[in-house]
Amino acid sequence: GENVEQHPSTLSVQEGDSAVIKCTYSDSASNYFPWYKQELGKGPQLIIDIRSNVGEKKDQRIAVTLNKTAKHFSLHITETQPEDSAVYFCAASSTDSSYKLIFGSGTRLLVRP
Amino acid sequence: DAGITQSPRYKITETGRQVTLMCHQTWSHSYMFWYRQDLGHGLRLIYYSAAADITDKGEVPDGYVVSRSKTENFPLTLESATRSQTSVYFCASSDRAPGTEAFFGQGTRLTVV
Q: Is the Cβ of A1 closer than 8 Å to some Cβ of chain B?
A: yes
Residue-wise pLDDT tens digits, B77-107: 999 999 999 999 999 998 876 667 889 999 9
Longest dimension (CA), chain B: 39
Distance from the Cα of A22 to chain B's closest Cα (Å) equals 15
| Burial of A68 from C-beta contacts in 10 A (0-12 / 13-18 / 19+) | middle
A to B CB pairs, distance under 8 Å: 62
pLDDT of residue B98: 60
> Taking 90 as the threshold, does the pLDDT of residue A91 lie above it?
yes
Chain A touched by B41 (CB under 8 Å): yes
Cβ contacts (< 8 Å) between B97 and chain A: which residues? 99
Of A30, A9, A106, A25, the residue nearest A70 (C-alpha): A25
Tell me the average pLDDT across B65-79.
96
Mean pLDDT to the nearest integer, B57-71 = 95
> With an 8 Å Cβ cutoff, is A54 touching chain B?
no
Q: Is B32 in contact with B25 (CB distance < 8 Å)?
A: yes
- Predicted pLDDT at A84: 97
Q: Is B61 exposed, middle or buried (0-12, 13-18, 19+ CB in 10 A)?
A: middle
Mutate to test the interface with A, among B43, B54, B88, B106 (most CBs of A within 10 A): B43
pLDDT at A100 over 90: no
Write down how long chain A is: 113
How sure is the predictor about A95, in pLDDT bands with cuts at 50, 70 and 90? low
pLDDT tens sequence across B20-58: 999 999 998 999 999 999 987 889 999 999 899 999 998
Contact B93, B25 (CB under 8 A): yes
Q: Angle at Cα B63 formed by Cα A3 and Cα B21, nearest 5°?
A: 95
What A4-7 contacts at long range (C-beta under 8 Å, 24+ apart), as own/partner pairs, is: A4/A90, A4/A91, A4/A92, A4/A102, A4/A103, A4/A104, A5/A104, A5/A105, A6/A89, A6/A90, A6/A104, A6/A105, A6/A106, A6/A107, A6/B42, A7/A107
Interface contact flag, B33 A34, Cβ < 8 Å: no
pLDDT of A72 above 90: yes
Residue B35 forms contact with A (CB below 8 Å) = yes
Phi, psi of A24, deg, nearest 5: -125, 150
B104 and A44: CB-CB below 8 Å?
Answer: yes
CB atoms within 10 A of CB A39: 12
Are B41 and A105 in contact (CB < 8 Å)? yes
* Residue A46 identity: L
Mean pLDDT along residues A6-11: 97
The phi and psi torsions of A48 (rounded to 5 degrees) equal -165, 155
Q: CA A9, A26, A44, B31: dihedral to nearest 10 degrees?
A: -160
A52 touches chain B (CB under 8 A): no
Where in chain B does DSSP place strands (E)?
4-7, 10-13, 19-25, 31-38, 42-51, 54-57, 64-66, 76-78, 87-94, 102-104, 108-112
Q: Is the dihedral of CA B13, A104, A76, A19 positive or negative?
A: positive
Work out the pLDDT band at A99, boundaries 50, 70, 90.
low
* Nearest chain B Cα distance for residue A94, angstroms: 7
Measured between beta carbons, the chain B residues lying within 8 angstroms of A49 are: 101
Q: What is the pLDDT of residues A15-63, one digit of tens each?
A: 999 999 999 999 888 889 999 999 998 999 999 999 877 899 999 999 9
